[in-house]
Structure formats: C-alpha cells, structure tokens
C-alpha cells in the first residue's frame, strides 16, 4: 500500500468516500449531506413548508434511526446519530428521511406502492408525534415498532460481536515488516 502524506490525506479519504458511495443509492444518500443542504439552499423561498426553528437531526436517514434504551429500561425507536444536529427547519429532516426510506425501498426491489405507503406512514407518524405534548409517554406505537423493540431488548453484546467480527480467532498476518 502506498504511503499517504498528510497533505494528500483529504484527497485520499475523498476518493475512498466516493467509492463507498458508488456501491448503492443508500450509501450515496448517507454520504451527501453537504450536497443535500446545498440543494435545499437553491430552492426558491416558500417551496418547502417552514416549520419552527427546532433541534433537528441534520442527517436524518434510515441508518441513523433505531432502538435506544433509556435509563429506566424503556426502549424506543429514536435518532441514534446526533453529530450533525442543528437548529433548523424540521421539514429538512422529513425530506431527507423520506429520500432515504424511498431509496432503501427501491433498492430492495420493493414495489413503488410499498415505498408510497412508507412515506404515508412516515408523515402520519410525524404528525402524531408533533400533536402530542413533549414528554407524553402514552403513545401507542405501531406493531412493526413493537417488533423491532422486542428484538432489540433481547440482544446482547455477543449478538453484535457475532454480526460484526468476521473471524472469531483473529490473526495478525506476518509480513516483511512484522
């Protein structure tokens, strides 16, 4: 492998990111946050609904959602990645999540009707969430969410390790330098 100087690092990382994004539409959406917001900036004022300036994820896509457990053991499906959180228009998160859901559905060869229903459910869920008072824990989640939560509660670190670790007996290959 070629040695990369500090000056070449950004360019090399950009090339790796572009290769990773080229693998799938979903990977492309995940890797183009900056382009997404440039696109939104180019829209004529009033094109999108203007929500109140609130904390938004900023990078709301399918991979950033999942089950999270609270201190008391309650589990909910929530945003799990907050590194690009900003105060902004909530419509931005909804559009980005809708784009991500649709590309995931189409990339999985699901029919267009299924993708449309997913969008309807996303909007209905958003409207329901916004209609409840903050901190109201008495909402009834749909059965699909209950299923995800039940599976998540049963998982342990061993499940994650089994999924992520390729070789249970890792070895370090010996080469010329080691």
3-state secondary structure the chain: CCCCCHHHHHHHHHHHHHHHHCCCHHHHHHCCHHHHHHHHHHCCCCCCCCCCCEEECCCCCHHHEEEEECCCCCEEEEECCCCCCEEECHHHHHHHHHHHHHHHHHHCCCCHHHHHHHHHHHHHHHHHHHHCCCCCCCCCCCHHHHHHHHHHHHCCHHHHHHHHCCCCCCCCCCCCCC
pLDDT(47) > 60: yes
User: Residue 112: which pLDDT band, with cuts at 50, 70 and 90?
Assistant: confident
User: Residue 125: which pLDDT band, with cuts at 50, 70 and 90?
Assistant: confident
User: Residue 76: which pLDDT band, with cuts at 50, 70 and 90?
Assistant: confident
Percent of the chain past pLDDT 70, that is, above it, reads 87
Name the nearest CA neighbour of 25 among 63, 56, 57, 67. 63
Residue 173: what pLDDT? 67
Name the nearest CA neighbour of 142 among 77, 90, 80, 91. 77
Cα 157 to chain center, whole Å?
21
More confident residue, 79 or 144: 79
Mean pLDDT for 38-61 is: 87
pLDDT(104) > 60: yes
**Confidence (pTM):** 0.63
Residue 172: what pLDDT? 67
Q: Give residue limits of the domains in the chain.
A: 50-164
**pLDDT tens across 126-157, in order?**
877 777 645 555 566 677 777 777 887 788 87
Average pLDDT over the chain, rounded to whole?
A: 80
pLDDT(121) > 70: yes
């Amino acid at each position: 492998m070629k040695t990369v100087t500090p000056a070449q690092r950004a360019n090399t990382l950009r090339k790796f990111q572009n290769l990773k994004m080229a693998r799938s539409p979903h990977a492309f959406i995940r890797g183009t946050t900056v382009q997404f917001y440039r696109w939104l900036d180019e829209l004529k004022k009033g094109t999108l609904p203007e929500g109140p300036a609130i904390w938004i994820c900023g990078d709301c896509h399918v991979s950033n959602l999942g089950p999270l457990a609270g201190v008391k053991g309650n589990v909910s499906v929530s945003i799990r990645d907050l590194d690009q959180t900003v105060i902004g228009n909530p419509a931005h998160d909804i559009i980005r999540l809708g784009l991500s859901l649709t590309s995931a559905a189409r990339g999985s060869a699901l029919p267009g009707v299924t993708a449309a229903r997913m969008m309807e459910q996303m909007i209905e869920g958003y409207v329901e969430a916004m209609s409840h008072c903050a901190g109201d824990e008495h909402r009834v989640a749909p059965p699909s969410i209950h299923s995800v939560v039940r599976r998540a509660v049963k998982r342990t670190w061993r499940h994650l390790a089994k999924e992520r670790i390729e070789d249970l007996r890792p070895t370090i290959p010996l080469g010329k330098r080691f």
